[in-house]
Structure 1
Amino acid sequence: MEIERMVAARRSVLAGLALLAAMMAAPIARAQDMQAGPVTGLPVPRYVSLKTDRVNLREGPSKEHRTRWVYQRAGLPVEIVAEFETWRRVRDADGSEGWVLHSLLSGRRTALVAPWSKAKGETLSLLREAGEGSAVVARLEPGVIANVASCAGSWCRVSIGGTEGYLRQDRLWGVYPNEKVD
């Protein structure tokens, strides 16, 4: 019994040290100075999306760490800000951060439509072509998840529920300013 407690305590200390090492090894960077992740070699930070409708956000990079939040929205975009073994430290649109098992994340690019907008009844226009004078194909409420097909310049081609169109890139959380997405 005593040995089991000592082993559990040692694991806790090691997990804490691993978390500290991961945070020091992969500092949170701005999009313009992305670094390669120490585990995947992919850019950090980068946007991904949640693969399933139930994803635990944990305080640290192991299942022994307390669950801080449970996401219940597949396709929700999150930003990977650090990597450690099979765990990714993510940040959501509200700024909350924690660790998620990598297998619960997808490389599929999605974005939230103006999640910062709190005005009641506000809608944003999804346009037929990239340009302010283009015809409106749909009105979108803030917080809607859009699938990102491509971004070039200051416009992104997105689809929402089978409807395709263009939104200005600065109205989306899930793509970096002036990021080119193919």
Structure 2
Amino acid sequence: MNPKSVISCALAVGLTLSSQVWAQEKGPVTNLPLPRFVSMKANEGNVRRGPSMTHRIDWVFKRKDVPLEITAEHGHWRRVRDREGAGGWVHYSLLSGVRTVLVEKDMLNLLSKPEQGAIPVARLELGVIARVEKCDIDWCRLSADGYKGWAVKANLWGVGPTEILD
């Protein structure tokens, strides 16, 4: 069943949509949706070639709160990928369920309301990491550096295209 069919079925029976709508598969360890987004909890985290401490470290993530997409699970390990598509295995203790996004458009307006033409409350530079408060189908409410407002979801990486967060 494609994501639009799932959304239509959920709306037809009056279900509240959640972040799980856009993901079709469930992880074998957590039973949570795959793929799904999380954030980096630690300031630094090793990215390994495979799901164990014996696998080689390919590189190290060095940015706390960066959004990552979990694409697979194996025991205490999660295969993740970043915005550029670089991926590997990270121990689950380095990850957080706190949702963040990466701003993909330079000088993105953070608006007072989720509508074009609303008053800008801040402008976010390309690459800024913002915390997600909620998302509807087209907009996300974000907080960044003490500012709160709405941004068009299409300008963000770290939230699924049909994902709705309450």
TM-score (norm 2): 0.85
User: Following the alignment from structure 1 to structure 2, what is the Cα–Cα distance between the partners of residues 176 and 81?
Assistant: 13
Unaligned stretches of 5+ in structure 2?
1-20
Matched, 1:43 2:27: no
Q: Is the 8 A contact 2:39 2:98 kept in 1?
A: yes
Runs of 4+ in 1 over 3 A off after TM superposition: none
Q: Is the 8 A contact 2:27 2:73 kept in 1?
A: yes
Matched, 1:96 2:86: yes
Q: What's the offset of the Cα at 1:65? A: 1.0
Matched, 1:165 2:149: yes
Identity of aligned residues (%): 50
Give the corresponding residue for 1:57: 47
Q: Is the 8 A contact 2:23 2:36 kept in 1?
A: no
Q: Is the 8 A contact 2:23 2:33 kept in 1?
A: no
The match for 1:79 among 32, 47, 69 is 69
- Aligned-partner SS, 1:112: strand
Larger Rg: 1
Task: Give the number of aligned pairs.
Answer: 146
- Aligned-partner SS, 1:103: helix
TM-score (norm 1): 0.78
Distance of aligned partners of 1:33 and 1:165 in 2 relative to their CA distance in 1, 3 Å threshold: closer
Over aligned residues, Cα RMSD in angstroms?
1.2
Higher relative contact order (CA 8 A, sep 6+): 2
The match for 1:156 among 140, 160, 163 is 140
One-letter amino acid of the structure 2 residue matched with residue 140 of structure 1 = L
- Aligned-partner SS, 1:95: coil
User: Following the alignment from structure 2 to structure 1, what is the Cα–Cα distance between the partners of residues 152 and 94?
Assistant: 29
Q: What's the offset of the Cα at 1:33? A: 4.8
1:114-133 residue pairs with structure 2 within 5 A? 114=104, 122-133=106-117
